[in-house]
Amino acid sequence: MIALTLGEIADVLHGRLVTAASDAVDTVVSGLVDTDSRQIAPGDIFVAKPGETTDGHLFVDAAVAAGAALAIVEREVAASVSQIVVADVVVALAELAREVVGRVRAAGDLRIVGITGSNGKTTTKNMLARILEAEGETVAPRASFNNEVGAPLTMLRVTAGTRFLVSEFGASGPGEIARLAGLVTPDVVVELMVGMAHAGGFGGIEATFLAKSELVHAMRGGGVAVLNRDDERVRRMAPIALEKDGEVRWFGHSAEADVQATDVSVSASGTAFTVHAGGQALPVRLRVLGAHHVNNALAAIAAAGALGVELAASIARLETLELAERWRMQPLGSDRVRIINDAYNASPDSMVAALRTLAQITGEGERTVAVLGAMSELGEYAGEEHDRIGELAVRLRIQRIVIVGAAARRMFLAAVAEGSWSDEAVFFATADEAYDYLLTELRDGDRVLVKSSNSAGLRFLGDRLGESFS
């Protein structure tokens, strides 16, 4: 974070400053900001966020022991550290992020990119960060820091020398993206897709469209909107950008896209395609698995182009990226039994893409195995969407379908109804039961997809299988 005095921070947060014996109003703080006391280092700021299962105020002493220079709290605690007492630490975190980013932007040439979409945010964020970090100091979220806490924490990592801030914006309901993106008013916004992920929380696909379009509304006047030409709902966001005197840059497989992909091919070693942009046609060889990551790469290339990065440079840097993110199409195991752990998150769209990738990368003499768990946050659509995935697995001729967890049982029933017979489809109530089965069932030449939403916990099953067959 940039250097600020305790008094300046208190003023920004409209909080009450309680200084420690060794501090004064003009004491300068410039460390990182975190809500996890285990991540605190000397000089950092600890935000004592109340949680569902515990309360950050209980860990102020631990943060002090780790070297915290300041605690932002909702009630004063007995600790030997300066404190700023506020009504709501999450609101305070956002206001501090707004102030810090605003000061850096006003003083230098900071450019801000905002990314959203029902799927692909984290992969696209990582791809764009890989491209931009060669251009100058780049701040991007760790993992999927894209909510009301994670997004401001990322913003607060900017320094006076930061050239690019890449922010990822997720949401489980209307208004969340507007609040988060409104903190920084991005120069470039990226809209990946509008799908069924979190549709239950939004209240349907049209409500999801409205929520995702909040990012374009938050774009800085005269900015650039990087939009998916292949997604009908994303195309409807173009007028919003134009109303803000912005530019629209399209990406996708469509011939009308400014950054277009053709000749896509997928193998166990990666994904290849040709990118067409600015009159050039250049080959791309991604190490990341799955045709669905082509659009993520196109979006990153288009956003980088809007920031002045040459096409060839973007491609060269993308080709060095070995993994989108842990638990996202992550290759584990060995050539004998390859495990693809994609169980950090799941929506109907990403589930379809992962299953198709499994079918595409499995060669002659090899066997497809899909280990599938529940997709969360689908609300009233959960039943029919789980049915659809079970049916698709059979239609793609997945040879072993292993369904795990009561919330995913409809996938199993749909697969059986679609024509899976004998022991082609099996159901287990727990991941431990599925693990015991797979230890004896998997054989040389198997290609195994592990896919579920985070809440289903199958990412840990994928890790165990990867270790067992390494």
User: Tell me, what DSSP letter sits at residue 375?
Assistant: P
Burial class of residue 8 (count of CB atoms within 10 Å of its CB; 0-12, 13-18, 19+) = middle
What pLDDT score was predicted for residue 262? 98
**CATH top-level class for 92-318?**
alpha beta
Q: State the chain's maximal CA–CA distance in angstroms.
A: 74
Domain edges within the chain: 4-87, 92-318, 330-468
Half-sphere exposure of 431 (CA within 13 A, CB side): 18
Q: What is the CATH number of domain 330-468?
A: 3.90.190.20
Q: Tell me the H-state helices in 14-76.
A: 60-65
Q: Which residues are annotated as a binding site?
A: 117-123
The answer on pLDDT for 202 being more than 70 is: no
H or E stretch at 17? strand 16-18
What pLDDT score was predicted for residue 391? 96
Equal fold, 4-87 vs 330-468: no
Condensed to tens digits (0 to 9), the pLDDT of residues 426-445 reads 999 999 999 999 999 999 99
CB proximity list for 139: less than 8 A, separation 6 or greater:
154, 155, 157, 158, 162, 164, 165, 166
Condensed to tens digits (0 to 9), the pLDDT of residues 94-134 reads 999 999 999 999 998 999 999 999 888 999 999 999 999 99
H or E stretch at 201? helix 199-202
Q: Which residues are annotated as a binding site for ATP?
A: 117-123
Condensed to tens digits (0 to 9), the pLDDT of residues 141-158 reads 987 788 899 999 999 999
What pLDDT score was predicted for residue 380? 85
- Predicted structure pTM score: 0.87
The answer on pLDDT for 198 being more than 60 is: no
Condensed to tens digits (0 to 9), the pLDDT of residues 18-38 reads 999 999 999 999 999 999 999
What pLDDT score was predicted for residue 201? 58
Condensed to tens digits (0 to 9), the pLDDT of residues 56-85 reads 999 999 999 999 999 999 999 999 999 999
Instruction: Work out the average pLDDT over 251-272.
Output: 95
- Cα 167 from Cα 189, distance rounded (Å): 9
What pLDDT score was predicted for residue 346? 86
Tell the residue number behind the tokens 């050239």, with chain if given: 163
CB proximity list for 279: less than 8 A, separation 6 or greater:
none
What is the fold of 4-87? 3.40.1390
